[in-house]
Structure 1
């Protein structure tokens, strides 16, 4: 099929390359000339494992091209809208200016029967508003939310755990849109991916609800971490125990700094804002506490560092390992790790920051912090080491060798990702969110 992907950021670039991989003829459109030039050269402007190779393959076939010219969309049967929906300045609600701009720019090239498919995460009701905005073009609007995880985006696009179609109300149009989307994803469906076909509003809510549930699960275990610290219990062992319950599950029950990035924080806030507009604000008041629990973890990590260093970080050298909001990403949007590094610096610590991928993005946001290219540079003569993103580079550190490089063997495990027994055996004072100062005896088995 011939298709357009509007918006070539994280979502759009991955989707465009993946659709070409599935055999479609794809044009990616974005107003950012530098971004388009980079993608056309096979160089994504962000880090995502496997994406450069996928881009190279797709570009080499001639099935993928990038442009700033919306006229290149003329004649394509399907137009995916994959632009950003950031949080409004000074408000909780999502800013839809990029969605509206994309629709307005696309409208002149649309012809009757064209399908405009939203992929962006939007407040419920956006699809119908977009259909009204495009009235007169003859195009039909559908919604097909994305469920990408940074670091696994290609796998999640080519082999998702489900496809959701938000279809129009009119029966004939509904059937035609369903058939078109089935053709778009024919290879994926043939692999056994289930399809959930529903109305526009439900499809929009699926993404918001999924993000809200995930954020709630993460904040729940972080709330338990607060209780564990007060009681002298171990949150990791607690999570293991309750995770055996099939109704709960162990995934995403990892206490630590909490969630960040460009999706969960702003999406749960936008969900609360939209519920308020609909008069259903009381249904989502719990998300306010979810957000607050998440934000408290950052301050608590700073508290742990201050406690471990005798009550003050002023003038102390602290190695911060990890700046991205999660491993296998260079995304520092609303990153808990970067926020903690900045808080430590504001309190007078001498902070040396390292990350395998996110240094340049971090420097653009916090140029006043000090960044180093190697772990060895970061930890040399450090009074404390803080592991704030669970990169394998840090998980696999040898605590015996590292102890020889620091001024004091103090480690703050902000992600509960290190082997606490091994670090303690190597002579480190090990502290972590939601865990006791010393190992529990006897250990839970």
Structure 2
């Protein structure tokens, strides 16, 4: 008999996972505790922008004309427990307020609410990013609460979704990692992921702690690479070097590679910053804090980039006050192809300049509604041209394709001054200079 899948939590991770599981041919039931979210998903709509996700959802949500009907949503824990064989826990693990540590309350609540109803052979699979040691604790809690006792198992299967590529990353993952304690759990997960495994995705079987460490280790490495090139940008600023050429030169070394070596205003979003901080906090609890002290500097370099962009803008305006100056900011999301503004370096820079008296106008292709909610006092425009109209300086802070394809000459016609600061080292300096712009990028004082 075919496995039935449930997905607990239908945010960014859960909605994507539920739709992907339906695409792989499974009957899927998603659960959330927010009625508005359930109603929205039931109409085949997603509460965030993610390329291809809404189309995939509409292909499978029951009740939509022409859909497979394999995907439904509920708020009933008993229904989920009765329906599913494999239950994926995809709830949020935010940073605790005022601390580095991870807030496990959503995961704990989800596992406990589900476990109380699990009677037969079931596999609960954690996908949320959690502090190492959580799976051991949760497995014991499930054993304590589940009426099915030892027939209810836990496994850990970390997610590796990149915003903007989430559908691709779920259907065609570059690796599948499963932390298991039994052959049965491994076999069930091999069945769930049979299609991507057949397509060549590596299937890595580990213990619980290793599976929990994979995501935080990967994010820590990526954060280190980004902050490394940003540290080199600081040195290039001081020495008169060109960080873009430096990155190109070292990127040809296949031990280093070219990815994540573009200097700029640093990383943000809902994962990298909170994950490396939670990793540091957990290492401290385990008595291994010395092993991760370097991550504190990685975090520090990253946050410093934002202040340096503000200073570059001040210098571009003559080095004095921002008062009375019009500043256009292109980009609000933390990365392109997303509407996510959580811990966005672009909005942070915009907010700092606004607090110092600048008249800031922001434009972003997809993040405007979320940006307005987070920073209601900033100015917003409906297009790049409108944002730049009358601006004394333009800041390019999120590397959307739309911004790379802008016509510098047309933009120059509406700007008060043709001064652009490229906070992502993603624009073509020659193209902008030919159109009469003064172009400046981080780590490239003479480029």
Q: TM-score, normalised by structure 2?
A: 0.96
Distance 2:240 2:73 in 1: 56
Partner of 2:31: 29
List alignment gaps of at least 5 residues for structure 1.
Answer: 169-173, 440-445
Given the alignment of the two structures, is residue 73 of structure 1 paired with residue 62 of structure 2, yes or no? Answer: no
Distance 1:89 1:431 in 2: 37
Residue 244 of structure 1, CA deviation: 0.3
Spell out the pairing of 1:53-92 with structure 2 (5 A cutoff): 53-59=55-61, 60-75=67-82, 76-92=84-100
CA RMSD, 1 decimal: 0.8
List alignment gaps of at least 5 residues for structure 2.
Answer: 62-66
Distance 2:119 2:220 in 1: 37
Partner of 1:171: none
Q: 1:145 aligns with which of 149, 158, 161?
A: 158
SS at match of 1:5: strand
Distance 2:130 2:81 in 1: 25
Residue 270 of structure 1, CA deviation: 0.1
Distance 1:151 1:24 in 2: 24
Q: 1:209 aligns with which of 204, 207, 217?
A: 217
Partner of 1:435: 444
Residue 187 of structure 1, CA deviation: 0.7
Residue 321 of structure 1, CA deviation: 0.5
Given the alignment of the two structures, is residue 264 of structure 1 paired with residue 272 of structure 2, yes or no? Answer: yes
Structure 1 stretches of 4+ with a deviation exceeding 4 A read none
Residue 71 of structure 1, CA deviation: 1.7
Spell out the pairing of 1:325-336 with structure 2 (5 A cutoff): 325-336=334-345
User: In the TM superposition, what whole-angstrom CA distance separates every residue of 1:297-328 from its partner, at most 9, and x where no partner exists?
Assistant: 10001000000000132210011010000000
Spell out the pairing of 1:243-322 with structure 2 (5 A cutoff): 243-311=251-319, 312-322=321-331
Partner of 1:418: 427
SS at match of 2:398: coil
Distance 2:22 2:335 in 1: 28
Distance 1:229 1:45 in 2: 41
Distance 2:169 2:31 in 1: 22
SS at match of 2:72: strand
Residue 405 of structure 1, CA deviation: 1.1
* Corresponding pairs, count: 433
SS at match of 2:314: helix
Spell out the pairing of 1:271-420 with structure 2 (5 A cutoff): 271-311=279-319, 312-420=321-429
Residue 108 of structure 1, CA deviation: 2.1
Distance 1:144 1:111 in 2: 22
Distance 2:76 2:391 in 1: 52
Given the alignment of the two structures, is residue 237 of structure 1 paired with residue 245 of structure 2, yes or no? Answer: yes
Distance 2:221 2:308 in 1: 23
